[in-house]
Amino acid sequence: MEMDELISGARRLSKPFRITDGTGFHLRERLENSEKHWKFSPSDTKERAFWKQYMAAYEDTIRHTATKHAPWYVVPADNKWFTGVVVAAAVINTSAGLDLRHPKVDEARLRELAAARRALRAGK
């Protein structure tokens, strides 16, 4: 957990998106589908040669940086609707484990609210 999270009590969900295709399917699709040409970069074909090394570094990073208080949720990004479901489930599951409550209102604030209520009723 980051220091600002410890202080504020906030919770961050870390979710790297992962394209699981090491076969080059996405690159071929970008070359063959005119609507996806804009996504293609000639360097993509050169970088593809390093796929195994990238995946090893990626998995090593996730394994060594995830903690009980700040886990990683690795989300497959190949299918947009499924990506949304996985992210929503992570948010719901994390939220369910939090002790969420409305802030307490002290006496001074209650008096302010009562005065505002009276002013509204009086048409002011």
Give the CATH number, domain containing residue 89: 3.40.50.300
**HSE-up of residue 103 (Cα within 13 Å, Cβ side):** 4
3-class DSSP assignment, residue 116 = helix
- Quick one: pLDDT band at residue 20, thresholds 50, 70, 90? low
The pLDDT tens digits of the residues spanning 30-76 come to 889 999 888 888 888 888 888 889 889 988 998 998 888 788 888 88
- Split into its structural domains, the chain has a count of 1
Are 80 and 87 contacting, i.e. CB atoms less than 8 angstroms apart? no
State the pLDDT at residue 11: 60
What is the spatial distance between Cα 5 and Cα 3, in angstroms, rounded to a whole number?
A: 5
Structural domain of 75: 3-121
What is the spatial distance between Cα 45 and Cα 30, in angstroms, rounded to a whole number?
A: 11
pTM value surpassing 0.75: no
Task: Decide if pLDDT at 19 tops 80.
Answer: no
